[in-house]
Amino acid sequence: MARRITVVSTSRADFSHLYWPLFHLRERSDLDVNVIATAAHLSPEFGSTANLVEELEIPFTAVESLLSSDTDVGMAKTIGVTTLGLADTLAQMRPDMLLLIADRYELLAPAAVALALRIPIAHIEGGEISEGAIDDAVRNAVTKMSHLHFTPTEQAAQRVRAMGEESWRVHRTGAPSIDFLTHAQLMNRPSLEASLSHALRSPVHVIAYHPLTISPDTLIETDAFFTALNRLEGQIVFCFPNADAGSRYIVERARLFCRERNDAYLHVNLPPLVYWSLLACADLMLGNSSSGIMETPSLGLATVNVGARQQGRQRAANIIDAAADTNAIVSAVAKASSPDFRSKIQGIDNPYGDGHASETIARLLAEAPDRETLLRKRALPLAASHASTDHPAFGALDEH
- 198: number of Cβ within 10 Å: 14
pLDDT of residue 310: 97
Range of the domain at 24: 3-175+354-384
16 domain-assigned: yes
Neighbouring-strand partners of residue 235:
204
- Report the CATH number at residue 363: 3.40.50.2000
- Evaluate whether residue 395 is within a structural domain: no
Beta strands in the chain (DSSP E): 3-9, 31-38, 60-63, 97-101, 121-124, 148-151, 170-172, 204-208, 235-239, 264-267, 284-287, 303-306, 319-322
Residues 201 and 65 in one domain: no
What pLDDT does 394 receive? Answer: 63
Q: How many domains does the chain have?
A: 2
Neighbouring-strand partners of residue 391: 395
Q: Residue 340 has what pLDDT?
A: 98
What confidence score (pLDDT) does residue 171 get?
A: 98
Task: Looking at the structure, tell me whether residues 61 and 125 fall in a common domain.
Answer: yes
Strands 31-38 and 3-9: parallel
pLDDT at 386: 52
C-alpha angle 306/244/151, rounded to 5°?
A: 70
Distance CA 209, CA 31 (A): 37
> At which of 344, 373, 393 does a domain end?
344
CB neighbour burial string for 287-315, b if at least 16 within 10 angstroms, e if fewer:
bbbbbbbbbbbbbbbbbbbbbbbbbebbb
The answer to pTM > 0.85 is yes
The span from the CA of 176 to the CA of 156, in Å, is 15
Burial of 74 (0-12, 13-18, 19+ CB in 10 A): middle
Give the pLDDT score at 192. Answer: 98
So what's the pLDDT on residue 74?
A: 93
Q: What is the per-residue pLDDT for 366?
A: 98
What is the structure's pLDDT at 43? 86
Q: Are residues 52 and 162 in the same domain?
A: yes
pLDDT of residue 397: 46
| CA atoms of 65 and 86, how far apart (whole Å) | 9
Residues 246 and 125: their CA atoms lie apart, in Å, by 25
Please say whether the beta carbons of 289 and 300 come within 8 A: no
Task: Tell whether 372 and 228 lie within a shared domain.
Answer: no
Residue 392 lies in a domain: no
**What is the distance in angstroms between the CA of the first residue and the CA of the last residue of the chain?**
29
10-residue averages of pLDDT along the chain (400 residues): 96 91 98 95 85 88 92 95 97 98 96 98 98 96 98 98 96 97 96 98 98 97 98 97 95 98 95 96 98 97 98 97 98 98 97 97 98 94 56 51
Q: Residues 2, 362: contact at Cβ < 8 Å? A: no
Same domain flag for 72 and 96: yes
